[in-house]
Amino acid sequence: MRRISWGTALIFAGLLAFMVAAVGADVFASNDPLRQSLLLRLRPPGTATATAYFPLGTDDLGRDLLARILYGARASLMVAALSVSVSLLVGVTLGLMAGWFGGWVSIIAMRAVDTMLSIPAILLAVLTVAVLGPGFFNLVLVLGLTRWPRYTRVAYAQTLQVAALPYVRAAEMAGCGPGRILLRHVLPNIAGPLMVVATSEFGLMILFEASLSFLGLGIQPPYPSWGSIMSVGRQYVVRAWWLTAFPGACLFGVVLCVNLFGDWLRDRVDPRSQGR
């Protein structure tokens, strides 16, 4: 077993906390995130009443901020995980085929990548949501279908490299078809770099979800999302700092952890960046 440094342990702890918070939101939240109580509007962190305790205070409708942040973590995690899966599937499929078949397949796929990368992603997302309408499903679809080009680029370049290796030639000589070679021999051998891209995209997806929700195009009220909590909190930033500070800190911490995890993963996957 390799020794893991304290910094790495901290990254893992942060990610683990995020996952646990998202998955176990119902367990950790003592209050219903949707229950309003207009008598308890904008109470500061640590407020206690006869029946309830609000460790992070309440929002403008008197809802428990901690509960809303926990459920917001669940929304972030689900949107990010699902949209990364969609774009991985689309992007890697295209990249593998472009790298293996070459010719017009690669021309079409790689020009599509260039086109997609030249459109500002957030603008495209805003446009698509405006057309399809907001909502959880559309959010996943939009993020998934706009973020595949990076995977395609990496999968394409890696497939070109791996396809020239003797063991892929050997598989061909042994009578394997393209599907089998790509899935059984090429994909496992290019999975490392793809996972690194997926990790950094995962962090970006969390930020995108928050941005779109902040703009009112993502998760719709009354359901909580870090972006929408901050969007509301923006109006009360002088009177109720906790509404923007806590979700903002969570967003910052999680994305930082995800990105650092991505760096750590890249060092493990790419031997050239090892042993600094």
Partner 1 sequence: MTALSVRDLSLAALAVRDLSLAIGRTNIVDAISFDVAPGEVLALVGESGCGKSVTAQAIMRLLPAAIRQTGGEITLGATSLSNLSARAMRDLRGRQIAMIFQEPQSALDPLATVGNQIAEALRQPLARVRAEVRQMLVEVGISDPDRRIDQHPFELSGGMCQRVMIAIALIARPAVLIADEPTTALDVTIQAQILALLRRLAAERQTAVVLITHDMGVVADIADRVAVMYAGRVAETGPTAAVFATPAHPYTALLLASIPRLSDVPKSALAVIDGQVPQPADYGTGCRFAGRCPRGDRRCVAETPALGPVADGRLVACFHPVGG
Binding interface with partner 1 (CB under 8 A): 165-167, 169-177, 184-185, 188-189
Query: In the bound complex, what is the minimum distance in angstroms from residue 182's beta carbon to partner 1?
Result: 13
Q: Which residue, 177 or 275, is less far from partner 1 as judged by CB?
A: 177
Q: Which residue, 52 or 171, is less far from partner 1 as judged by CB?
A: 171
Query: In the bound complex, what is the minimum distance in angstroms from residue 210's beta carbon to partner 1?
Result: 37
Q: Which residue, 19 or 170, is less far from partner 1 as judged by CB?
A: 170
Query: In the bound complex, what is the minimum distance in angstroms from residue 199's beta carbon to partner 1?
Result: 20
Query: In the bound complex, what is the minimum distance in angstroms from residue 151's beta carbon to partner 1?
Result: 20
CA distance linking residue 157 with residue 150, whole number of Å: 11
Q: Which residue, 119 or 170, is less far from partner 1 as judged by CB?
A: 170
Query: In the bound complex, what is the minimum distance in angstroms from residue 172's beta carbon to partner 1?
Result: 6
Q: Which residue, 162 or 197, is less far from partner 1 as judged by CB?
A: 162
